[in-house]
Structure 1
Amino acid sequence: MRKPVPLAESDTVFSSVRSQSLASRIVTQVIDALFAGQFKPGQFLGTEAQLTETFQTSRVPIREALGRLEALGVVTIKTGAGGGATIAEGKPDQFATALAVQFMLVQVTAEEIFDARIGIECRAAELAAEKITDDQIEALRLLLERIMEPDLPRRESVDRILAFHRFIVEASGARTLVTLMHALEHALLNLFTALEASPRNSRIGYKSLQGIFDRIAARDSEGAFTAMRLHLLDRRKSMLYRLKELSDQAGIATPAS
C-alpha cells in the first residue's frame, strides 16, 4: 500500500481539525499546503483510513472534503484496492471550461469581456512577436488568408477570426494567457455570432488584422502590442454600439453573453 505524507512530516503540513468546521477546514489545509509547495502533482495524499488518522477525525468529513477537493480539480480519487486520493495533474483546459461557466453564471457584460480580452491579447501579441518561429509565421499567414476569403458563412467567418486570435495567444507561450483566452472564447463566440458578421460590415477589421500580422511577422513586439490594442479598442467600441442598437430596437436589454 502506498504511504501518504509521513506523520512526522504531516505535522508541519496539517493540524487537528476536531474543533473546527471539519470538511471545509480539511479542504483549506490541503489547498494551503498545495500553494505553499508542500505537495506536487501526482503525489499520493492518502487513503480514507490514513487521512482520518492524519486529521484525527472520522471518515465522514474526510469523504466530504475529498469530494469537494475532487470537484475543485485538486485531487483525483481511485477506489478499490490500491486506491486513495492523489494530488491531481494540471489540466488547464478543464480550468478554462470551469471559468467560462462562471463567466456565464455571473453574467459578465460585453464591456468586461472586451476589457479582459484587451489585457490578454495585447500582452500575447507582444510575446508572440518575441518568440514566434518562421513556421508559426507562415501558419498565421494562412489563417489570415482564410479569414479574407469572400462569401464565408457567418459561423465559419467567426470561427476563423477566433482561430487567428487564438493562434497569436498560443504563440506567446504563456500558459496563463492561453487558458484565460480559452475561457473567454465561449462568450466571444456568442457575441460575434450575434453581431459581427453581417453583410454591411463583414470585412471591417480585416485591415487591422493584417497590421497585427505584419508587426508580429517583423518581430516588432511594441508594434504588435499597439496594433492589437488599437484593433481591440475599435472592436470594443463597435460591439458596444451595436449591442445598444439591438437593445433599442428590441426594447429590451440584450445579454452580453
Structure 2
Amino acid sequence: MVPKPTKAASSRAEDIAARLEMEILRSGHPAGTRLGLRTELISRFEVSPGVMNEALRLLRDRELITVKPGPSGGVFTADQPPGVRLGALDLWFQGLTIPPLEIFESRTLLEEMFNNLALQNSTPADHKDIERGLHQMSNSAGDPRGFFEANVEFHRAIANSTGVTVLTSIYHSLVTVLTGALVRAVWTDGHEQTIDHNLRVHGQILEAIRAKDRKRLETATRLHRVDMVSIAQPEKSPAAHIDLSPTGETDDSNVG
C-alpha cells in the first residue's frame, strides 16, 4: 500500500504543481512539449521523489501533462483547452475555485442589467468614461489580453454610471477575480472581422445609453450576446447558455 503524503509534503506538492501549471499555461507550448525527466524536475525543485510524484499526479488530474516511461519518456504538456471561448478570444485561467464559465455567465447577466440602469441614470460625464473604455478596446485590438482588459473597463464604466453601489461592488469583485486569474489570452483564426464587429456593437451600446433609447439598447444587447459565442465551441461561451430573446428563440445574426 502506497503511504499517503504528509500534510507538509502535500502542501509542497501543491505549490510545485501550481508553479508548473502557471509555466505551462503562460508559455503556450503546444501539446507534446517535453518539460523534462522526472529526475530533472526533482533536481530543479529540490524535492523528494514522493513530493514530485504527488505534484505530477495533481497536474495529470488537471489534464495538463502526460508522463511517458522509457529512455525517450519524461513529462510532456497535454493539450489544454481554454476555460472560456469568448467570440474570437480564447482564455485560460488558473487558481479559480469556481469554473470560469460560471463567473462569466454571472458577469454577463450583471452587465445587461447595468446597461438598462445606465439608460436611466448615466450622465454626460459617465458617457465620456464609457467612451474612453471603447477607445481603449480599439487601441488594444492587436493584443488579446489587452483587448479583454479594455472590454472589462468599458463595462466597468457602465456599471459605475448606474449608482447601484452594492451590485457594482459585486461586479468589481467578479471582474477582479477574472483578470487576476487570467494567465493566457489568444485570438482565434480569422479574428479581425469579428473584432471589428464587436467594436461596432459596443459603440451601439454606448450610443443607445447616451440617447436613452431602450429599443436600440435591446438590439445592441442581442448582438453583443451573439458576438460572445464562439463558433468553434459554443458550449464554452457564456452567452450560449442564455436565451437570446424573451421568447427563448435564437438569433440568426451573422457576427462576421
TM-score by length of 1: 0.45
Between Structure 1 and Structure 2, the one with more strand by share is 2
If each structure's helix is expressed as a fraction of its own residues, which one has the higher value? 1
Q: Which has the larger radius of gyration?
A: 1
